[in-house]
């Protein structure tokens, strides 16, 4: 995306993870990190995630807050055949539009269940209910489609299905400048590099610098992550940091 001056605009996104199973701790969410990495690859920066329960008012509030604030919103979960799958109704409520059986979704599910000899019962027909004005997202894994309405993309919660749906929509997303990153693994506690890092951050405002301590088998170290959309600045800041650490006699490794 470009603004009128031709400068590339930063493109942002949020994720809404819908599901009691994540909030109960029963299921460890694996979608958030996967979506973050894939979005970054196409020049979209994930800026916020909300995990909400299977309660319509909560889903509506999260989706409406985030779709107004970010370029894209992706939801995961709650589009299956059971009574607790209320995402489609919640999205219709968020956009204040109707919801009905979508002819294309009905057709593809009818075909799927006929072919597989499985009864296309009322519960399964629920998966063809799509908010008015939405377009379908193909589901190459288990057929029941996701959908997209304005800047909101509604996907399944099962990781393999969510990933397949994401790949269907990825070519249609418009990214901005890609966030580049370089990481240094440094054999020192972060308190020893903090002041230098703070000074470097001031010198390179376009480079976001993060410090993440680790403790492995009694060894203390810090991963220093530099991120920027500007490659020259990133490389310069990175070079300066490495030089400083080497001057201090610290063992450094560039990692990914």
Q: Which residues 69-108 are close enough to bind a second copy by CB under 8 A? A: 80-85
Contacting residues for 231 by C-beta, under 8 A, at least 6 apart: 180
Contact segment (CB under 8 A) with a second copy among 30-38, 86-94, 146-154, 165-173 equals 30-38
46 binds a second copy (CB under 8 A): yes
- Selected from 9, 107, 212, 253, the binder of a second copy by CB under 8 A is 212
The nearer residue to a second copy, 67 or 149, going by C-beta atoms, is 67
Q: Cβ 123 to a second copy, closest distance in Å?
A: 3
**Residues 148-187 as x/- pattern, contact with a second copy by CB under 8 A:** ----------x-x------------------x-x-x----
- Selected from 89, 190, 233, 240, the binder of a second copy by CB under 8 A is 190
3 binds a second copy (CB under 8 A): no
Short-list 11, 83, 69, CA closest to 40 = 11
Cβ-in-10-Å burial (0-12, 13-18, 19+) of 225 comes to middle
118 binds a second copy (CB under 8 A): yes
Long-range contacts of 46-50 (CB under 8 A, 24+ apart): 46/12, 46/13, 46/14, 46/15, 47/12, 47/13, 47/14, 48/14, 48/15, 49/14, 49/15, 49/16, 49/17, 50/14, 50/15, 50/16, 50/17
The dihedral region occupied by 25, where left means phi > 0, alpha psi between -120 and 50, and beta the remainder, is: left
Contact segment (CB under 8 A) with a second copy among 89-97, 100-108, 189-197, 235-243 equals 189-197
Helix (H) / strand (E) element for 227: namely: strand 219-228
Q: Regarding beta strands 180-186 and 99-101, do their DSSP bridges make them parallel or antiparallel, or are they unpaired?
A: unpaired
- In the three-class reduction of DSSP (H, G, I as helix; E, B as strand; rest coil), residue 125 is classed as helix
Q: Cβ 199 to a second copy, closest distance in Å?
A: 9
The nearer residue to a second copy, 127 or 149, going by C-beta atoms, is 127
Q: Using CB under 8 A as the criterion, which residues of the chain lie in contact with a second copy when the complex forms?
A: 17, 19-30, 32-37, 40, 45-54, 58, 80-85, 118-119, 121-124, 126, 158, 160, 179, 181, 183, 189-195, 197-198, 201, 208-215, 225, 227
């Amino acid at each position: 995306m470009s603004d009128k001056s031709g400068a590339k605009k930063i493109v942002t996104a949020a994720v809404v993870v819908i599901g009691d199973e994540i909030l109960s701790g029963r299921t460890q969410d694996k979608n958030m990190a996967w979506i973050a990495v894939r979005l970054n690859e196409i020049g979209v920066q994930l800026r916020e995630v909300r995990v909400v329960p299977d309660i319509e008012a909560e889903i509506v509030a999260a989706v409406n807050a985030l779709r107004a604030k970010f370029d894209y919103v992706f939801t995961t979960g709650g589009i299956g055949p059971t009574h607790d799958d209320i995402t489609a109704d919640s999205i219709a409520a968020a956009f204040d539009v109707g919801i009905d059986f979508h002819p294309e979704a009905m057709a593809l599910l009818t075909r799927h269940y006929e072919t597989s000899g499985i009864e296309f019962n009322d519960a399964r027909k629920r998966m063809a209910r799509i908010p008015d004005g939405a377009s379908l997202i193909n589901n190459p894994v288990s057929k029941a489609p996701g959908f997209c309405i304005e800047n909101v993309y509604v996907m399944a919660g099962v990781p393999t299905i969510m990933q397949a749906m994401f790949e269907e929509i990825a070519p249609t997303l418009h990214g901005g400048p890609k966030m580049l990153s370089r990481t240094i693994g440094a054999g020192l506690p972060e308190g020893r590099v903090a002041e230098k890092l703070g000074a470097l951050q001031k010198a390179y405002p376009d480079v976001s610098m993060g410090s993440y301590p680790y403790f492995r088998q009694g060894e203390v170290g810090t991963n220093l992550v530099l991120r920027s959309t500007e490659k020259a600045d990133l490389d310069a800041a990175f070079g300066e940091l490495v030089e400083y650490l080497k001057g201090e006699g610290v063992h450094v490794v560039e990692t990914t």
